[in-house]
Structure 1
């Protein structure tokens, strides 16, 4: 029998854990691991305060979900106790599948398996341990529950996930422009025909939310220095896996070595692999990179040194695709300076693209409830800004190369 606990959060103040099942899930080792998973990956190399974790975020999401349930019930929306419990479980565990530094694993040593897929695997495993008490939460998480608004509260344009991470990430980075009034936004929510809507007087709060989201993506999540650091980390793990495949035994934790040694795709993510993944966190990667700085391999040694000592690559961001001529120029300069092959040089000279879309009307529209009872899309109601610009996908192109390569 667990006593209900109160947590002190720097964003919302006191957060109450709603019941003993939620408490038990929080206490589970799979969830406690999130204390060791950075919420914002390598962004702390840009914003020194950004050391908060997925654990902080998940607890904050539960707090906001409690507020959303209370607001909707007050407005006459029927939400059963089972549905309420399922909402708390789904939002609590929505990010439980994140690997070290949040996204780097998905693009390197785990073969095309998203964190959402791993989250679902964790939830199914926990469902067996908790006597099928997570079944309804899993249906909501997968978007399969017939009451659409419950799924939208977990994953939608105005879900509790976004409502927390924008406010939380703004706080820990010190980027005030990303700060949203999530509680005001939640107060404006309503449900019509099992669809989540926003009351007309909440239009300006929605606009602020979308603008903040766009700003946070360009200034924080896609910040050029953070982008370089994450790309370097992805390449560190890829190089480590290549060397392991060639028979080199790199010093690392048992969990990290398992993923370096084995080709793990979704079909290989059995219960045993999931348990090993559950013991993998940021500390495995940091400690490995500290050791790998002393490896003979030129690529691995230098990539690790760049991250550990924050001596990162230079990056240029353009509105048009990077010309092949520019890439080849940097490659040739690096190959000549360090006497390495083109394959090795491509770890230090590379290009790519980033994109940002603050509002996605095609997939999940934000609907407004007029005082008359009529429902309309936010595009028609908003008179403060042109949502067309926020709906447009903006793509930029980048080229990374060593600082000494500048001519």
Structure 2
């Protein structure tokens, strides 16, 4: 039997709190799960620093990746298989892309990417096509199969319907992380009727479409996403922890570049500090490594690195204040001057951070990150863009919400304001 079609003697299942069970019958999928690179995802949290706000948010990219695979498996096997618009030959490719779409995430994901100017999708593709265990498994399907999986994840695969199942405004990735993140954070915002959405999903030539009768379930899904972003993903305390995490890495990189003699040599980070990253350097790094070094670096002689590590590990986070960059840019300049005069480095202790989200948008040709809209399939077969039928979606379409905050060590300023009047002046300026 061809490896592509080979089934396990007995179906394997993962017990899952979101989907109840995740079913694996394909030998290729089971072998991919067992690779070193996929198992690494057990050591990468799905929500980065959010566990410092919602203590249950300790779930991993491994769990999420299995969940995305299971949703795609159900869409194909229970809904699309046998339909003329769907090519059953794409089944295994689509499930592998779903399973492996987050393979290249680094420790603490987006914060790590920002510090070292990395792109997890680029590393996902590199892991899939490089000298790795997962590549060896995929090549057993066919020599070009790893590249096909990489193309789906990179959104360059010619079958756009396959790509839309993994990456679109209503894809398996979002459907899993909204429910999974809601479950582990304990909030109610991310819940929506996925069962209904799966029942009304239909394959079209270039993307998934939704039967008109399922419009209200899709409205609920979009509003769930909107609420999760502002109540969980952009929570100011989680952002404070992320700011400190990024500043730890910035400080360690700066010290390395200056020739600082670390008590605990940052061997796993040198390739990143020097911008000479090999694939093995990336795969070997996970959150356990970072947390170990943070424990060591809290004992470093450098007071800034030591303090930032203490703050992150002991949850002594920065406080935040609202600000508007367009009208308060002079305030930032004045605060930076006062920080320096008070002997506090504003590079590490006064941080402006912005969050922005566009919950739903329709297609705008030529614009950066143009988005393919969600289409409803009307009773006569016509396709209609969602916001033309839904007043709820129309109300938020194309409306980007942005939030700006300043982060600072209020505890340090409060404890020292009696001895240094500049501390009190800084606090007054920050709170007005």
In the TM superposition, residue 336 of structure 1 has moved relative to its aligned partner by 4.5
Match of 1:164 among 158, 176, 200: 176
| 1:38-53 alignment runs, 5 A limit | 38-53=45-60
SS of match in other structure, 2:189: helix
In the other structure, the counterpart of 1:70 is 77
Change (3 A) 1:194 1:72: farther
SS of match in other structure, 2:64: helix
Provide the C-alpha distance between the structure 1 equivalents of 2:178 and 2:310, rounded to a whole number of angstroms: 31
Match of 1:191 among 191, 203, 209: 203
In the TM superposition, residue 284 of structure 1 has moved relative to its aligned partner by 1.0
In the other structure, the counterpart of 1:114 is 119
Provide the C-alpha distance between the structure 2 equivalents of 1:211 and 1:77, rounded to a whole number of angstroms: 32
Provide the C-alpha distance between the structure 1 equivalents of 2:350 and 2:102, rounded to a whole number of angstroms: 32
In the TM superposition, residue 128 of structure 1 has moved relative to its aligned partner by 4.5
In the TM superposition, residue 158 of structure 1 has moved relative to its aligned partner by 0.7
In the TM superposition, residue 237 of structure 1 has moved relative to its aligned partner by 0.5
Is the CA contact 2:85–2:204 (under 8 Å) kept in the aligned structure 1?
no
Provide the C-alpha distance between the structure 2 equivalents of 1:335 and 1:302, rounded to a whole number of angstroms: 17
Check if 1:292 corresponds to 2:297.
Answer: yes
Is the CA contact 1:368–1:376 (under 8 Å) kept in the aligned structure 2?
yes
In the TM superposition, residue 63 of structure 1 has moved relative to its aligned partner by 0.5
Check if 1:347 corresponds to 2:348.
Answer: yes
SS of match in other structure, 1:296: coil
Give deviations 1:306-357, integer Å, cap 9, x for gaps: 11111111112346646134324443454454x34xxx32211021322111
Match of 1:99 among 85, 97, 106: 106
SS of match in other structure, 2:348: coil
Is the CA contact 1:327–1:399 (under 8 Å) kept in the aligned structure 2?
no
Q: Which has the higher contact order (CA 8 A, sep 6+)?
A: 1
Check if 1:56 corresponds to 2:63.
Answer: yes
Change (3 A) 1:53 1:249: farther
Provide the C-alpha distance between the structure 1 equivalents of 2:232 and 2:265, rounded to a whole number of angstroms: 31
TM-score (norm 1): 0.90
Check if 1:305 corresponds to 2:310.
Answer: yes
Provide the C-alpha distance between the structure 1 equivalents of 2:347 and 2:151, rounded to a whole number of angstroms: 43
**Unaligned ranges ≥5, structure 1:** none
Check if 1:202 corresponds to 2:209.
Answer: no
Provide the C-alpha distance between the structure 2 equivalents of 1:72 and 1:229, rounded to a whole number of angstroms: 42
Provide the C-alpha distance between the structure 2 equivalents of 1:192 and 1:229, rounded to a whole number of angstroms: 43
Provide the C-alpha distance between the structure 2 equivalents of 1:25 and 1:75, rounded to a whole number of angstroms: 26
Match of 2:374 among 366, 373, 376: 366
Between Structure 1 and Structure 2, how many residues are aligned? 392
SS of match in other structure, 1:198: strand
Change (3 A) 1:320 1:185: farther
Is the CA contact 2:359–2:396 (under 8 Å) kept in the aligned structure 1?
no
Match of 1:326 among 321, 327, 331: 331
CA RMSD of aligned residues (A): 2.1
In the TM superposition, residue 80 of structure 1 has moved relative to its aligned partner by 4.2
Structure of greater Rg: 2
In the TM superposition, residue 2 of structure 1 has moved relative to its aligned partner by 6.2
Give deviations 1:237-264, integer Å, cap 9, x for gaps: 111011111122432564234323x224
Provide the C-alpha distance between the structure 1 equivalents of 2:126 and 2:63, rounded to a whole number of angstroms: 22
**Unaligned ranges ≥5, structure 2:** 1-6, 364-370, 414-426
Provide the C-alpha distance between the structure 2 equivalents of 1:319 and 1:191, rounded to a whole number of angstroms: 44
| 1:122-137 alignment runs, 5 A limit | 122-125=127-130, 126=132, 128-130=135-137, 131=139, 132=143, 133-137=145-149
Provide the C-alpha distance between the structure 1 equivalents of 2:336 and 2:152, rounded to a whole number of angstroms: 48
In the other structure, the counterpart of 2:367 is none
